[in-house]
């Protein structure tokens, strides 16, 4: 008896492909293609990365600005996210246009869409036939009256929507106007106590006031802000490292301001005396006061008595 032919051996199954591994240069916790949150704070600046503080020139709307590396990266990330969302919206709009075209040219697509939305095409057709039968029993006047009522209802709904948009726009303008008014009132109080008008000073004023708009005219809050500024300036000027923070330009301005204060002609206490040749004289010989004798002192006492 002849030997049976050996059974064919099935080829070995190919190993399943391994999941995509992150790139070698990818940072820990970042998958390839992941969208980075543009609002996330930048990573800490390492001592060997001074280039991240270098200024880069960019042109936006015919205006040239200088921004740091971290801000440049965040701007690129925001632009990347915006571009991706724009492309997704454009793709969805194209799909919608294709679906509408298919529904117009092929009624079966319309019925398929109705089924996906949870409607039975047969029930829709029956309801439409019943509506047509009811309309056939109405007089032309009744049909026209119904159409007029429908148009009036649509017009009233559109008018209410426009009124709501107008009210919303007015509320936004009123809120913006109130913000400008509050900012002006706060700046007035800060100027009155000699505090420079900066974003930090205004923010500190609002923080001390507890966010209460009624405190925008508070002299007490402005005085508290000034006291904090005075303490911070004293701490800076009393510390050698703090003085270095002022920089050479800041020190020059500080010396110039102090010199102008000393030489100011508007301050009699610090104004220098005019030269002898420019001093005005009444034409009379000035009496030089000397030591008062005992006889003269007694004579003055007798005259007063």
Instruction: Give the chain's largest Cα–Cα span.
Output: 169
Nearest to 169 by CA among 177, 157, 181, 158: 177
- Which among 163, 129, 135, 166 has a CA at the least distance from the CA of 150? 135
- Indicate the domain borders of the chain: 53-105, 172-242
DSSP-derived secondary structure letter, 305: -
- pLDDT reported for residue 234: 84
pLDDT band at 191 (very low <50, low <70, confident <90, very high): very high
293 pLDDT more than 60: yes
Structure pTM? Answer: 0.38
- Does position 29 have pLDDT exceeding 50, yes or no? no
The rounded distance, in Å, linking the Cα atoms of 14 and 17 is: 9
pLDDT in the model for residue 19: 44
pLDDT tens for 231-244 read 888 888 887 777 77
Within the chain, strands assigned E span 56-60, 63-67
Residue 180 tokens, joined: 């400008």
Does 43 score more than 70 pLDDT?
Answer: no
Of 270 and 161, the one with more pLDDT: 161
72 vs 226, which has greater pLDDT?
226
- Structure confidence at residue 156 as a pLDDT band (50, 70, 90): very high
Angle at CA of residue 68, ends 66 and 73, nearest 5° = 115
Average pLDDT over residues 248-274: 66
More confident site: 160 or 300: 160
Q: In this predicted model, what pLDDT tens digit does every residue of 75-101 receive, in sequence order?
A: 878 888 888 888 899 899 998 888 888
63 vs 94 pLDDT, higher one: 94
Output b/e per residue, 45-77; b: 16+ Cβ within 10 A.
eeeeeeeeeeeeeeeeeeeeeeeebeeeebeeb
pLDDT > 90? residue 225: yes
Mean per-residue pLDDT of the chain? 75
Q: Please tell me the predicted confidence (pLDDT) of residue 64.
A: 79
Kindly state the average pLDDT of the residues 26-32.
44
Residue 184: pLDDT band (50, 70, 90) is very high
């Amino acid at each position: 008896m002849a030997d049976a032919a050996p059974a064919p051996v099935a080829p070995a199954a190919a190993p399943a492909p391994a999941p995509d591994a992150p790139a070698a240069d990818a940072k820990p916790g970042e998958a390839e293609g992941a969208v980075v949150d543009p609002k996330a704070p930048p990573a800490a600046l390492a001592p060997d990365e001074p280039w991240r503080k270098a200024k880069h020139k960019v042109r936006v709307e015919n205006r040239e600005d200088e921004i740091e590396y971290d801000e440049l990266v965040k701007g690129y990330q925001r632009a990347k996210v915006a571009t991706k969302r724009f492309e997704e919206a454009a793709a969805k709009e194209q799909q919608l246009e294709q679906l509408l075209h298919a529904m117009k040219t092929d009624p079966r697509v319309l019925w398929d869409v109705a089924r996906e939305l949870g409607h039975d095409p047969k029930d829709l057709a029956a309801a439409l036939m019943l509506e047509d039968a009811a309309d056939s029993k109405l007089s032309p006047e009744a049909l026209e009256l119904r159409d007029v009522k429908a148009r009036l209802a649509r017009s009233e709904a559109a008018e209410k929507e426009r009124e709501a948009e107008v009210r919303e726009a007015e509320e936004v303008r009123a809120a913006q106007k109130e913000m400008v008014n509050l900012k002006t009132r706060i700046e007035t109080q800060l100027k009155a106590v000699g505090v420079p008008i900066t974003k930090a000073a205004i923010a500190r004023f609002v923080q001390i006031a507890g966010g209460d708009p009624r405190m925008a005219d508070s002299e007490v809050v402005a005085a508290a802000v000034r006291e904090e500024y005075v303490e911070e300036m004293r701490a800076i000027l009393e510390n050698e490292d703090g003085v270095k923070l002022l920089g050479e330009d800041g020190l020059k301005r500080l010396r110039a301001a102090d010199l102008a204060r000393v030489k100011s002609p508007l301050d009699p206490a610090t104004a220098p005396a005019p030269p002898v040749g420019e001093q005005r004289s009444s034409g009379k010989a000035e009496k030089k006061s000397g030591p008062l004798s005992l006889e003269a002192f007694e004579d003055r006492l007798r005259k007063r008595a």
